[in-house]
Amino acid sequence: MPSTDGASGGTECFSVRRDVLVCLAILLTAPVARAEQHQPLGIGRPPTAQEIGAVDIDIAPDGTGLPAGQGSVAAGAVLFAAKCAACHGAHGEVGDDSPVPKLAGGQDTLATAKPLKTVGSYWPYATTLFDYIRRAMPLNAPQTLDADQTYAIAAFVLKLNGVVGDDAVLDAHTLPAVRMPNRDGFIRTPNQPGS
């Protein structure tokens, strides 16, 4: 540095040295920062099939995820009376909108001043019924129903709505094939992500 006198010279000198240090620091740390963004951090581990299986309970509208097994309307009637009727009534007729919704009826009411949103009048997919019963019902013992029981109760609720007949048997093939009355009743909101 040529300047040797006064505060300004000292400051300049310090400033240059600081710049060099900053440059060195960038050169040394930049590769590390880049590596952190593009290489594995090594956090977490691959889950086992058992760990995934314990929580992988979702059902897609095309039936993906439905388990083996089957259930009839007749079997569902017995199960519904034992496990569901205490809150929902013998025919799904008990309840308001919340917390216990009516399960049946209400078709052709959606455009009226008093719409009744039920499985039969509102739900667009039958797969949702299986998914929801298995993950959240019955309220006093969620995630305890097996596949056969879940198919059977879903069959009974659909029968209450006249969506399937008295002799219907649901399984991984017949359940996704059920066409719900309000299948085309939903509009994906414009300008929303994913729409």
Partner 1 sequence: MTIQRRRLLRDGAFMAAAIGASRSAAVGQDIDPESPPWVHEQGAPVLSPPYGNPSPFEKSVIRRTRVASAIPSVASSLTPLQDLHGIITPGGLHYERHHAGVPAIDPALHRLIVHGLVERPLIFTVDDLLRFPSVSRTMFLECSGNSPLWKSVPEAWTVQITHGLLSCSEWTGVRVADILDQTGLRPNAKWALAEGADAAAMTRSIPIETLLSEAIIAYAQNGERLRPEQGYPIRLLLPGFEGNTNVKWLRRLKIGTDPWETREETSKYTDLLPGGKARQFAFVMEVKSVITAPSGGQSIATRGFQELRGLAWSGRGRVVRVEVSSDGGTTWQDAALQEPVLSKCLTRFRLPWRWDGQPQHLLSRATDETGAVQPTRDTLLAARGANSYYHYNAIHGWRIRRDGVLLSAA
Collapse the DSSP code of 171 into the 3-class scheme (helix H, G, I; strand E, B; otherwise coil) and give the result: strand
> What residues numbered 175-194 form the site for partner 1, per CB under 8 A?
185-189, 192-194
Told to check if 110 binds partner 1 by CB under 8 A, we report yes
Q: Which helix (H) or strand (E) holds 189?
A: none
Tokens of 53: 């299986």
Told to check if 165 binds partner 1 by CB under 8 A, we report no
Told to check if 139 binds partner 1 by CB under 8 A, we report yes
Name the one range near partner 1 by CB under 8 A: 16-24, 72-80, 117-125, 147-155. Answer: 117-125
Told to check if 33 binds partner 1 by CB under 8 A, we report no
Told to check if 156 binds partner 1 by CB under 8 A, we report no
Q: How far apart are CA 82 and CA 152, in angstroms?
A: 13
Q: How far is the CB of 138 from partner 1 (least distance, A)?
A: 11
Near partner 1 by CB under 8 A: residue from 28, 41, 68, 177: 41
Interacting residues of 142 by C-beta distance below 8 A, sequence separation 6+: 135, 136
Enumerate the β-bridge partners of residue 171. 70
Told to check if 106 binds partner 1 by CB under 8 A, we report no
Residue corresponding to tokens 């949702």: 128
Q: Summarize as ranges the residues that interact with partner 1 (CB under 8 A).
A: 37, 40-41, 43-47, 51-52, 55-61, 98-101, 110-111, 113, 115, 117, 119, 122-125, 127-128, 131-132, 135-136, 139, 142-143, 185-189, 192-195
